[in-house]
Amino acid sequence: MEFLHSNFLPMRTGNKNFLDKFYELLPQASLLNIAVGYVTCDSLVELQKLMEYNNRIHTLNLIIGMHYLDLFTKTEYNAAVDLNEYLTNTERGEVRLVTPFRYHGKLYSYSNLDGPFAGIIGSNNLSSIVEGGSRVYESAIFFDEPKPALEMHRFIEDLKKTSSDNISTLEIKKFKEANPLLEEHEFVKKINTQMVRMCYYERSHISFDIPIKTYEVSPHSNLNVFFGKGRESKTTGLIKPRHWYEVELIVPKSVTSQPGYPQAKTEHAVFPVITDDGWSFQCKVSGDYSKNFRSEGDLKILGKWLKGRLENAGALKVGEPVTKETLRKYGRDSFSLTKLSNTNGWFLDFGVRK
């Protein structure tokens, strides 16, 4: 038995965290059974990519315990449906929802050809398989003793048989309207409407239009990093996909060479931004000609802001590339970066005027 902890400062321990152990066990498993309360769209698409990259994991069964009664967001639901379609079409498992009650457990059961050999139980929902994100301290227990491993496996099988249905058989028409992608996200603050309005009126004449490169010209980078080559472990051979919301924009020299644009390797290379929809975080420019534009601390922050807007507008489906058609549906193919007067901050605007 081994305790797993998030290890956020100042509460460091000598133990591994859930993320490390989850991926450490995967190369040994041919069957992965998961029963959790809540999921996120990026964790669902990450699971699908894991299955696509790693044929040694023959079967994945995912049971989602809370969303049938507590509702999905539309993007979460679509990602769960897509994962189920992939698993069932390839005969490699399924996605099921607990329907008669809310199931709030978090169980991860690993099996090989000899049967169940390990498990993780604790506070980690499926979002914990995605690196970074919300700064919530989680704790769990890993065990590899045969008896509890078999007991967990049997419990998940009973939950599946007695209390869940395949997601494709359920009629779900009500969804959560709020999209919580950046809520309680590490390095991100929510800004009230009054502050956003004040920043809007404090915009200076120093402003730049940052173009968004689409799949047609940038299939594996910018907003489409997810489709690039996964990260392969040299020791285990396991391939981990790039994160769905991981982005780093390449800004053309025609923009970065303009007077006033933030310059790499200077004291202004990292700077705070306020967004038109009420978020605050740090951004950074780097590389030759200051061409790389990213969110500081976590590349997924900028990705959640940009791709989340596209998803909420119905222009982008989780797991699909950002194309010219995506931006056409959204109504904008760039965002503006505008210096705020009397401060070192900037205003990011990706709004669409209806």
Rounded to an integer, the average pLDDT of 122-134 is 89
Type of residue found at 68:
Y
Residue 354 is predicted with a pLDDT of 63
- Percent of the chain past pLDDT 70, that is, above it, reads 99
**Which pair of structure tokens corresponds to residue 151?**
């007991």
- pLDDT(133) > 80: no
Residues 6+ positions from 44 with CB-CB distance below 8 Å: 76, 79, 80, 82, 83, 126, 318
**What per-residue confidence (pLDDT) applies to 158?**
98
CA 165, chain centre distance (Å):
25
Mean pLDDT to the nearest integer, 96-118: 98
Q: Are strands 346-349 and 334-340 parallel, antiparallel or unpaired?
A: antiparallel
pLDDT tens, residue by residue, 145-192:
999 999 999 999 999 999 999 999 999 999 987 667 898 888 999 999
pLDDT tens, 256-268? 999 999 999 999 9
Q: Are 59 and 31 in contact (CB under 8 A)?
A: yes
Burial environment of residue 172 by CB neighbours within 10 A (0 to 12, 13 to 18, 19 or more): middle
pTM as predicted: 0.89
Q: What is the pLDDT of residue 196?
A: 95
What are the strands, taking DSSP E only, across 192-333? 203-211, 231-232, 239-240, 249-250, 270-275, 279-286, 292-295
Would you kindly state where each structural domain of the chain is located, as residue ranges?
2-169, 189-349
Superfamily for the 2-169 domain? Endonuclease Chain A (3.30.870.10)
91 vs 28: CA distance, rounded Å: 20
